[in-house]
Amino acid sequence: MQIVLVLLAIYETTTNALRIEQCGARELGMQNGDIFDAQITASSSFDKQSVGPQNARLHSELASGAWCPKPQINSKSYEFLQVTLNDTFLITAVETQGRYGNGTGREFVSHYMIDYLRTGSQWIRYKNRTGHVLMDGNFDTTTPVIRTLNPPIVASRIRIVPASKSTRTVCMRAEVHGCKHDGVIYYSTAPDGSRLDTLDFKDNLFEDSQMYTESGIKRGLGLLTDGFVAHTSPFEKNQVNDSWIGWNRDTTDGHINILFEFEDVHNFTDVVLATFGNRIDQIDVIFSQDGKTFPFFSQISSSERQSANNTSRRYDFRVPLHNRAGRKVRISIRFSSDWMFLTEVHFTSAANLTLTSEKMPTASSAATQQIAVICGIIFLILLICVLYCIRVCLKRIRKNKSVDSNVKKDLIITHMGNKPACHVFQSSSKLSNDHYEIANDIVYARSQKSTLLSVSSKSSSSCRQMPPTWNNFNFPPPPDSKEEHVYSQPVSPENSSNGSYRSIRKVPALKKYPTSALLIGKSIGEGKFTIIKECIIFGGLKCAHKSTKEKDCVHGTRAMSDETACLLKCGRHPRIAELYGVDESYNLLLEHVEYGCVRNFWLASSAPLDTEFLVRICKDVYIAMAYLESINVVHGHFTPNNILLDSNFHAKICSPRGPSHHAQLRYSAPESIVNNEFTHKSDAWAVAASVYEMAYQCRQRPYEEFTNELIVDNACALLDHQPNAIVPMMPTVFNYEILQLLTRCFRVNQMERPTFHTLLEPFQN
Ligand SMILES: *[C@@H]1O[C@H](CO)[C@@H](O)[C@H](O)[C@H]1NC(C)=O
Ligand SMILES: *[C@@H]1O[C@H](CO)[C@@H](O)[C@H](O)[C@H]1NC(C)=O
Ligand SMILES: *[C@@H]1O[C@H](CO)[C@@H](O)[C@H](O)[C@H]1NC(C)=O
Ligand SMILES: *[C@@H]1O[C@H](CO)[C@@H](O)[C@H](O)[C@H]1NC(C)=O
Ligand SMILES: *[C@@H]1O[C@H](CO)[C@@H](O)[C@H](O)[C@H]1NC(C)=O
Ligand SMILES: *[C@@H]1O[C@H](CO)[C@@H](O)[C@H](O)[C@H]1NC(C)=O
Ligand SMILES: *[C@@H]1O[C@H](CO)[C@@H](O)[C@H](O)[C@H]1NC(C)=O
Ligand SMILES: CC(=O)N[C@H]1CO[C@H](CO)[C@@H](O)[C@@H]1O
């Protein structure tokens, strides 16, 4: 799934592969008997036995050779032959023939109309693309005439209604052509397309369904599902077909909603919007399984890549839908160009692509082909990935050698699971020389000389310098195993640490409590290298006691000393969990924050928490981060775990550690993952990724469907500006201004990300 997801952005040209022409239209069974007699009925028959509807099978000479209605037909009559299909079909053509009857027949239908019906609808009178209601029928008793329906009809019942201006006797045989329809059965657009002066971009093909949504919007099918993808500009003069719906920004406020309804619940793979030269700012897709509620956490958001700036081009906007299930799908589009055009919207649902093969032989070959194509592409991409990795690695090797031959090799080649993956990490020695000093600069900007002390005896004896490995990254487990691990994380967790360890730093001003003054209670949380316990400092001050796990003293001690340094630099701030001091073993005594980690709080809440709450949490977080930014402290490993909720339901952040050598992979900026760069700008990414998770009610993590390997690959691809690289898409819970800022946090170029100061501004209003 993940792999396909990455791919989808690449192969645009197969958009039409699933289009209506490919549905493999076939005769639905008037001739061959797939349609039973009971499914063929009529308004009346001249004689049930000899010319009843059961005789209306094309190319057959049954009884008297056709169906003939009882009365003669004139301009006022309504007689029909009705075919009741088992299911909803896409009917692409109707074929008719007169009555031959071994040479005795003289009757045929020269014109007819078509009425149809599908689940939930009334009878709808068919009108073709050029607005004709009257179809041309036969001109003799023998020749079958096939009328291609443009647009095709989505129906489960169809009536062929003979028509004649002058009174005449008619008889008819018929066949319907089509294929199983699995797609949209109704859609409604709010607002409707725009008409300005001579420019009419309304949905003029919309069927006359006489159906409306609760809010009075027409429901039915039209241009967006007619199977015709226009390739010419909407503004082209000789536009014979109504091919485009257009929305004008001034009349629509640049915001449109389209609701798509399906007959069953589908698992959607993706949706393709065939558009023309628009600047689409944001697309949100939200799903409803019961048809009534649209649970917020089902929402998928997507914004346009920067490349699509060509305003005179038709292109497909593809949104991967991550196999979300739904019976109704609402798509909200925000655009900032003058016009927004759509010619077609096409959904793909994976589950049913394979299922259809049982019922519909014609579709199976298409499905197989598709799978083959996808497999082929996957293989190709894997190959490219491997080649790319090898190239990068070689490049790094060369570069590294030329820079400093004394430094240990600058990369680690890793095997993850059974997939080889080659990634570049900086070696411990190089890192500790480069980054550690930078760390010191930032953390100890003012008191560099005096405050660095070295070494607690306990640590120095047992801790050796080790190169970083995959273990140095804190991997939230891949999606499969997440139930057990991810969401059961600790209250004030420290999940990460790092390899290279050089010295323990301690600031003299740090308050030190004798162990005898502490009452240490039960464990309230556990990180990868640390344990947090309840603690009461003698005299009644409740706190959180954080110590390293025995076997992880290297990482834990480094992490804790970094944290100590950062917190000392921070001083007291209402939105940052306070450091009270340390005990004799330099374990940390931290502020005890009432409700612990915001994620646990969110997950424990049975009802979705409202946007107001989210905004408030974000505001608190950005206040804290703007403060850190102002005093030059890099947090370094921000995740939702670092957001704690106090008794007033305000947030405090915890555990700033500075630019250290470890990563919370899923939340880290690409430069942090690949190059170990940790700055305020990489913090901006990490905080935005955490906001993303909260905006999804903590039920969808960033890159939810990506394995760790894919996240690293994706980070490489992002830094390499590859078009298939993916960034998290912020859902539209926030207002436009905030959304724009948060979206900018996921820019690859750090300089384009906003500062925390800028980010905080809109939250303060
Ligand atoms: C329609 O349904 C009947 C039973 O309800 C079944 O026997 C028949 O094969 C179905 N016809 C088609 C075309 O699927
Ligand atoms: C036409 O001929 C066939 C075979 O001879 C016969 O079964 C059928 O009843 C005839 N139909 C009519 C309308 O006479
Ligand atoms: C609509 O139907 C009329 C009458 O059958 C036909 O002449 C015309 O070509 C049809 N238009 C399209 C687009 O199929
Ligand atoms: C109009 O529609 C028909 C049938 O779909 C197509 O063959 C034709 O090329 C279209 N014309 C234009 C100008 O798009
Ligand atoms: C959708 O997918 C889920 C798991 O991927 C599966 O359990 C469910 O049955 C699927 N539903 C449909 C309607 O295909
Ligand atoms: C897109 O085009 C507009 C106007 O032609 C230009 O101002 C803008 O910078 C372009 N954006 C990109 C990303 O190329
Ligand atoms: C925009 O797209 C059209 C059609 O694909 C192409 O002919 C034109 O060269 C493109 N313009 C730019 C600036 O890319
Ligand atoms: C046409 C088809 O196979 N539709 C199926 C889509 O998936 C749902 C759930 O698996 C089935 O109930 C439909 O029959």
Relative to the alpha carbon of 137, which ligand is closest? Answer: 3
Q: Is the pLDDT of residue 488 over 70?
A: no
What are the φ and ψ backbone dihedral angles of 559, each rounded to 5 degrees? -60, -45
Distance CA 84, CA 117 (A): 10
3-state DSSP call for residue 457?
A: helix
- Per-range mean pLDDT, top range of 54-58, 117-121, 376-380, 457-461: 54-58
Q: How much distance in Å is there from the Cα of 588 to the middle of ligand 8?
A: 57
Confidence of residue 5 (pLDDT cuts 50, 70, 90): very low
Relative to the alpha carbon of 136, which ligand is closest? Answer: 3
Looking at the chain, how many residues does it have?
765
Q: CA 572 → CA 306, 618, 622, 652, distances in Å?
A: 42, 20, 16, 12
Q: Select from 27, 36, 40 the residue to mutate for testing ligand 1; criterion: most ligand atoms less than 8 Å from CB.
A: 36
Please state which of the ranges 2-11, 16-25, 587-596 shows the lowest mean pLDDT. Answer: 2-11
Fold of 598-764: Transferase(Phosphotransferase); domain 1 (1.10.510)
611-630 vs 680-695: helix axis angle to the nearest 10?
170
Q: How much distance in Å is there from the Cα of 150 to the middle of ligand 6?
A: 38
Instruction: Tell the residue nearest (CA) to atom 7 of ligand 6.
Output: 309
Distance CA 376, CA 389 (A): 20
- Give Cβ neighbours of residue 145 (< 8 Å, ≥ 6 apart): 95, 96, 97, 136, 137, 138, 139
- As a whole number, mean pLDDT of residues 658-662 equals 66
Place of tokens 């940052």: 576
Distance CA 688, CA 301 (A): 15
3-state DSSP call for residue 619?
A: helix
Q: Is the CB of 312 under 6 A from ligand 6?
A: no
pLDDT of residue 505: 35
Place of tokens 């579709």: 363
Distance CA 86, CA 539 (A): 78
Q: Is the pLDDT of residue 155 over 90?
A: yes
Q: Is the pLDDT of residue 506 over 80?
A: no
Q: Select from 130, 132, 149, 241 the residue to mutate for testing ligand 4; criterion: most ligand atoms less than 8 Å from CB.
A: 241
Place of tokens 């329906």: 149
Distance CA 585, CA 587 (A): 5
Q: Select from 280, 309, 338 the residue to mutate for testing ligand 6; criterion: most ligand atoms less than 8 Å from CB.
A: 309
- Ligand 1, residues at Cβ distance < 6 Å: 29, 34-35, 86
756-763 vs 680-695: helix axis angle to the nearest 10?
30
Average per-residue pLDDT for the chain: 75
- Give Cβ neighbours of residue 679 (< 8 Å, ≥ 6 apart): 634, 659, 750
pLDDT tens digits, 294-321: 887 788 877 655 445 556 677 788 888 8
Instruction: Tell the residue nearest (CA) to atom 6 of ligand 8.
Output: 352
- Burial (CB < 10 A; 0-12, 13-18, 19+), residue 675, is middle
Rg (CA), the chain: 33
H or E stretch covering 448: helix 448-451
| More confident position, 333 or 558 | 333
- Taking CB atoms within 8 Å and a gap of at least 24, the contacts of 414-418 are 414/469, 414/470, 416/470, 416/708, 416/709, 417/709
Q: Which is it for strands 663-664 and 473-474: parallel, antiparallel or unpaired?
A: parallel
Q: How much distance in Å is there from the Cα of 241 to the middle of ligand 4?
A: 6
Determine if the peptide bond prior to 420 is cis (ω within 30°): no
pLDDT of residue 565: 81
148 CA: nearest ligand 3 atom: 14
Confidence of residue 350 (pLDDT cuts 50, 70, 90): low
pLDDT of residue 30: 94
- As a whole number, mean pLDDT of residues 341-367 equals 55
Distance CA 127, CA 149 (A): 9
pLDDT of residue 185: 94
What percent of the chain has pLDDT above 70?
73
pLDDT tens digits, 184-238: 999 999 888 888 877 888 888 899 988 888 778 899 999 999 888 888 888 877 6
Please state which of the ranges 57-66, 345-354, 654-663 shows the lowest mean pLDDT. Answer: 345-354
Report CA 406 to chain centroid distance, whole Å.
46
Instruction: Tell the residue nearest (CA) to atom 8 of ligand 6.
Output: 309
Q: How much distance in Å is there from the Cα of 222 to the middle of ligand 1?
A: 29
Q: Is the CB of 310 under 6 A from ligand 7?
A: yes
pLDDT of residue 20: 57
- Ligand 8, residues at Cβ distance < 6 Å: 180, 182, 264, 351-352, 355-356
Q: Select from 266, 267, 353 the residue to mutate for testing ligand 5; criterion: most ligand atoms less than 8 Å from CB.
A: 267
Q: Which residues pair with 341 in a beta bridge?
A: 246
Distance CA 692, CA 687 (A): 8
pLDDT of residue 239: 61
What are the φ and ψ backbone dihedral angles of 441, each rounded to 5 degrees? -55, -50
pLDDT of residue 96: 96
pLDDT of residue 387: 61
pLDDT of residue 742: 93
Residue in 334, 343, 244 with CA at minimum distance from that of residue 285: 334
- Give Cβ neighbours of residue 260 (< 8 Å, ≥ 6 apart): 184, 186, 187, 328, 329, 330, 331, 345, 347
- As a whole number, mean pLDDT of residues 68-82 equals 93
Q: How much distance in Å is there from the Cα of 207 to the middle of ligand 4?
A: 19
Please state which of the ranges 137-146, 415-424, 665-674 shows the lowest mean pLDDT. Answer: 415-424
- As a whole number, mean pLDDT of residues 419-425 equals 27
Instruction: Tell the residue nearest (CA) to atom 11 of ligand 5.
Output: 267
18-180 and 185-352 in the same fold: yes
Q: Which is it for strands 412-416 and 419-423: parallel, antiparallel or unpaired?
A: antiparallel
Confidence of residue 753 (pLDDT cuts 50, 70, 90): very high
- As a whole number, mean pLDDT of residues 657-677 equals 80
307 CA: nearest ligand 6 atom: 13
What does CATH list as the number for 470-591?
3.30.200.20
pLDDT tens digits, 508-564: 467 888 887 888 888 888 777 788 888 888 777 888 998 887 776 767 777 787 788
Q: Is the pLDDT of residue 397 over 90?
A: no
Domain limits, the chain: 18-180, 185-352, 363-400, 470-591, 598-764
| Six-digit token string for 44 | 């009346």
Confidence of residue 492 (pLDDT cuts 50, 70, 90): very low
Please state which of the ranges 24-33, 275-284, 392-401 shows the lowest mean pLDDT. Answer: 392-401
Distance CA 486, CA 475 (A): 10
- As a whole number, mean pLDDT of residues 131-155 equals 94
pLDDT of residue 435: 28
Distance CA 382, CA 455 (A): 47
| Six-digit token string for 208 | 């006359």
pLDDT of residue 174: 97
Q: Select from 132, 138, 240 the residue to mutate for testing ligand 3; criterion: most ligand atoms less than 8 Å from CB.
A: 132
Fold of 185-352: Jelly Rolls (2.60.120)
pLDDT of residue 373: 59
Give the largest Cα separation in the chain, rounded: 115
Q: CA 37 → CA 54, 83, 85, 251, 619, distances in Å?
A: 5, 9, 11, 53, 69
pLDDT of residue 438: 24
Report CA 473 to chain centroid distance, whole Å.
26
- As a whole number, mean pLDDT of residues 567-583 equals 87
Please state which of the ranges 16-25, 129-138, 500-509 shows the lowest mean pLDDT. Answer: 500-509
Fold of 18-180: Jelly Rolls (2.60.120)
Report CA 609 to chain centroid distance, whole Å.
21
Instruction: Tell the residue nearest (CA) to atom 8 of ligand 4.
Output: 241
Q: Is the pLDDT of residue 626 over 60?
A: yes
- Give Cβ neighbours of residue 251 (< 8 Å, ≥ 6 apart): 191, 194, 196
What are the φ and ψ backbone dihedral angles of 605, each rounded to 5 degrees? -75, 130
pLDDT of residue 71: 92
Hey, which bits of 355-475 come out as E strands?
Answer: 412-416, 419-423, 473-474
Instruction: Tell the residue nearest (CA) to atom 3 of ligand 4.
Output: 241
- Give Cβ neighbours of residue 715 (< 8 Å, ≥ 6 apart): 668, 670, 673, 674
Rounded to a whole number of angstroms, the distance between the first and last alpha carbons of the chain is 41
Distance CA 411, CA 629 (A): 31
The pTM score is 0.53
